[in-house]
A and B are shown apart, each in its own frame.
Chain A
């Protein structure tokens, strides 16, 4: 079956612009996660959605970052007024239960 998909695969933007990153989870997966992977670093948790519960936003690094999810489907991560330190690969994952997470291929964001 289809895995987690993310778009765009690459995004180059100018400092100060807003960007939107999209994640399509595996159908039926109730949980959705966003992570950030900076060069040479592990994955940093950003935000977590579980069903209709309030999202866990504890990993968002600043108020320039926000995310939405419509029901148990698509999620959008928005970064406002991008900065160079936002350059990273943004990974989305989904899971059916509180166990295995299945990752998408990521969006590579470059802020110039």
Chain B
């Protein structure tokens, strides 16, 4: 069965500092990987996705993520965090013929002044 682990429940980053959110997955074949962001009271917004090809993918709002098959990881990064990035971030995995996504439990990002 596929699974996703986000080891950090909360992370606090100073505004302007760099950010890395960790995601590890377990999946038997080539995974489809996603990062979503959820602001309070909102639905989930897709930040970026990896299906195949270049393992470094660019997303919206200045985010990027790198797929590392050897480490079963898909960590999310941003070089300089803005206060508006404070939200909850979810990593998810699916398959080429998926009908559903399996989500991690999320990482809450807090941005300090």
A7 vs chain B, min Cβ distance (A): 13
* Given A91-B43, A100-B49, A42 contacting B100 (CB threshold 8 A): no
Determine whether the beta carbon of B99 is less than 8 Å from that of A98: yes
Stretch in contact with the other chain, from B11-19, B75-83, B101-109: B101-109
Residues of A near B104 (CB, < 8 A) are: 42
- Nearest CB in chain B: distance from A49 CB, A: 10
The reply to whether the CB of A104 lies closer than 8 angstroms to some CB of chain B is yes
Given A42-B106, A43-B90, A103–B45 Cβ distance below 8 Å? yes
Tell me, yes or no, whether B27 is within 8 Å of chain A by CB: no
CB-nearest residue of chain A to B105:
A42
B92 neighbours in A (Cβ, 8 Å) = 43
B74 nearest CB across to chain A (Å): 15
Question: Can you show 13 pairs from A to B with CB atoms below 8 A apart?
Answer: A33-B100, A35-B103, A41-B105, A42-B103, A42-B105, A45-B101, A50-B99, A56-B99, A56-B100, A93-B44, A98-B97, A103-B44, A106-B43
Chain A residues at the B interface, C-beta cutoff of 8 Å = 4, 31, 33, 35, 40-43, 45, 48, 50, 56, 59, 91, 93, 98-106
